[in-house]
Structure 1
Amino acid sequence: MRREGAARRGGHRSVPHTADLRVEAWAATREECLAQAVRGVCESFLDLTGAVGVRTRDVVVRADTDADLLVALLEEVVYWLDTEGEVPVDVELVPFAGGLRAALGVADADSLPVTGAVPKAVTLHELDFTQGAQGWTCSVTLDV
């Protein structure tokens, strides 16, 4: 049983969605929820068990809303995957006014077992990023 005021553990899951990838994530903080969303997307198509980052990609994302920040961060993930064949296996996020600085520890996607369809783009369909009494939650759909 959870105690009142106890910090909510972060997590993520893939949710069935017709012909697309849908990921839900949750955590006590906005930044951890964003990191969980990144992990959820990456684990939806690759087995990251034991994966180690071979280099760090420093990324700055800016947005007016939290939902737009989620989209911008995941668009960076799709971009690095598509252009360099890299997938984040470690995510560190530092907020600043109007955005985030992300240190993405990336591995070569080709070195990891494929478990699903690779995401091609982030959609705005049923996009949600909300702070509630128990922390932050988000839901996002990606084209595969």
Structure 2
Amino acid sequence: MSRGHRTVPHTVDTVIEAWADTREECLAEVVRALVEAFADIGEVVPDDSAEFALDEETDEELLLTVLDEVIYQVEVYGRVAVDVSVDEWTGATEGQIEVRLATIPMGAVDQVGAMPTAVAVNGLRFGREAGMWRAHVVVDV
């Protein structure tokens, strides 16, 4: 099993690249990379979660929606996502998926970078490539 992520230098934004064997693992890697760009979560254990269902239009829309929710949780509730799970087989309406973000309070982490403000739609890529799931995201800070 191969998975990972990295941030790539960019003029004023943060570029995240992630890869994994499955869509869900790749999505989790992108969330980890986004959070690591602004917070050192160390070995904290989540104490709450945010759950939401969404229509699965395209893989890119799924990625964009999840990352927007990660940013929203920080901005509105002061909560930092430390893990993500995607479930297509629970009580969600057919054609929907359920997403769960495991979270901790912002006060439980050290801020190490600029807070993200939005995810750019331009250049967003998320899909299978050369036998693996890969993501490329530009994050406004």
Using the size of structure 2 for normalisation, the TM-score is: 0.90
For 1:100 and 1:126, the matched residues in 2 are separated by 24
The aligned residue for residue 25 of structure 1 is 18
The aligned residue for residue 89 of structure 1 is 82
Q: Report the secondary structure of 1:125's partner residue.
A: coil
The aligned residue for residue 44 of structure 2 is 51
Q: Is the contact between residue 31 and residue 95 of structure 1 (CA under 8 Å) also seen in structure 2? A: no
Q: Is the contact between residue 116 and residue 139 of structure 2 (CA under 8 Å) also seen in structure 1? A: yes
Q: Is the contact between residue 31 and residue 83 of structure 2 (CA under 8 Å) also seen in structure 1? A: no
How many residues are aligned here? 137
Shift of the alpha carbon at 1:99? Answer: 4.3
Q: Report the secondary structure of 2:133's partner residue.
A: strand
For 1:95 and 1:44, the matched residues in 2 are separated by 29
Q: Is the contact between residue 35 and residue 93 of structure 1 (CA under 8 Å) also seen in structure 2? A: no
The aligned residue for residue 127 of structure 1 is 124
The aligned residue for residue 139 of structure 1 is 136
Q: Which runs of 5+ in 1 are unaligned?
A: 1-6
Matching residue within 88, 108, 111 for 2:108: 111
Q: Report the secondary structure of 2:43's partner residue.
A: coil
Q: Is the contact between residue 118 and residue 140 of structure 2 (CA under 8 Å) also seen in structure 1? A: yes
- Partner amino acid, structure 1, of 2:124: L
Shift of the alpha carbon at 1:134? Answer: 2.9
Using the size of structure 1 for normalisation, the TM-score is: 0.88
Q: Is the contact between residue 26 and residue 133 of structure 2 (CA under 8 Å) also seen in structure 1? A: yes
The aligned residue for residue 4 of structure 1 is none
Q: Which runs of 5+ in 2 are unaligned?
A: none
Once the two structures are aligned, what percentage of the paired residues are identical? 38
